[in-house]
Amino acid sequence: MNSLTNRSEKAANQYRIESLSKGLLVLRLFNESTVSLKLRQICDLTGIPMPTAFRIVATLEEDGFLERSADGSVQPGVAVLSLGSAALRGSNLVQVSERPLRHLAETTGETVNLGVLLGDQVLYLARMRNADLVTANIQVGSTLPAAYTSMGKLLLAWLSPVELDERLTTQSFSPDAGPNAVRTRSELDARLELIRREGFSIQDQELALGLRSVSVPVFGRAPAPVAAINIAVSSARHDVASLRGVLLDQLRETADDISLRLRAL
């Protein structure tokens, strides 16, 4: 069995282009909280030697995937934004979710979101925003710590202990979170256990002061969820109890609608 596995790994790796892999690694460094980096920072974060990193950055800059600022730092360029936009537009998940999510937003008058798990972050794929919700500056393509969001916690709750260990580190818990945010893995595990029992996830000012949300899973053909959706509200208008009532019922109906559409593809 081991020899077969080794041969399979070698067969898969013979087509790997290391320089391309390193270029993609550099692009992955940029996220919601890291919008620009100096060359030395890129080397420190990736372990790529300075001469190699210099060539990678120069190539990405020439092709429009990175842009250089006056201080010498680099940030994602227009080409990256175009790729991201095309990926979202072409996603079956986003396409089949748009109408049900829009109906939910219109019916409730609240902000609704669709997200997937990306490492220890939740990536926002769709967002219909209520203009009154001013406590969180989130857009399509934004990533936020999964441990502090209703969608992120819900999707984390479906992972095995081994998968959680692979994704979560001490860096997954930010000191800049909301007043009710967990600060340790053990605190998070307790909340994940509650989510497993109840089948939905509530975020009560964990991401930011004044923001609450409730989330449920979306399923395709597999037994594990492919995404999550939520309703985000202002704490000034909704207490936690209200998230467990009519809003949760409407959210579940929308998730069932999206899941049905996904299974029909």
> Domain segments of the chain: what residues?
6-81, 90-263
| Integer angstrom CA distances of residue 93 from 46, 50, 113, 126, 179 | 32, 40, 13, 10, 33
User: If pLDDT is split at 50, 70 and 90, which confidence band does 10 have?
Assistant: very low
Residue 134 has pLDDT above 80, yes or no: no
Mean pLDDT of 253-257: 98
Least confident range from 25-29, 245-249, 253-257: namely 25-29
Q: Which of 135, 144, 138, 108 is nearest to 126 (CA)?
A: 138
C-alpha to C-alpha distance for 15 and 78, rounded to whole angstroms: 29
Domains 6-81 and 90-263 share a fold: no
Q: For the segment 75-124, what is each residue's pLDDT rounded down to a tens digit?
A: 888 677 556 655 555 478 888 999 999 999 999 999 999 999 988 989 88
pLDDT at 8: 40
pLDDT at 9: 43
pLDDT at 4: 40
Q: Give me the CATH topology for the region 6-81.
A: Arc Repressor Mutant, subunit A (1.10.10)
C-alpha to C-alpha distance for 257 and 249, rounded to whole angstroms: 12
Q: For the segment 31-89, what is each residue's pLDDT rounded down to a tens digit?
A: 766 888 999 999 999 999 999 999 999 999 998 889 898 889 998 886 775 566 555 55
User: If pLDDT is split at 50, 70 and 90, which confidence band does 3 have?
Assistant: very low
Assigned architecture for domain 90-263: 2-Layer Sandwich (3.30)
Q: For the segment 200-246, what is each residue's pLDDT rounded down to a tens digit?
A: 999 999 999 999 999 999 999 999 999 999 999 999 889 999 999 99
CB atoms within 10 A of CB 257: 18
pLDDT at 82: 58
Q: For the segment 141-170, what is each residue's pLDDT rounded down to a tens digit?
A: 788 999 999 999 999 999 999 999 999 999
Mean pLDDT of 173-196: 94
Q: Which of 212, 198, 192, 114 is nearest to 147 (CA)?
A: 192
| 218: phi then psi, degrees, rounded to nearest 5 | -115, 130
Mean pLDDT of 171-175: 88
| 69: phi then psi, degrees, rounded to nearest 5 | -90, 170
> pTM of this prediction?
0.71
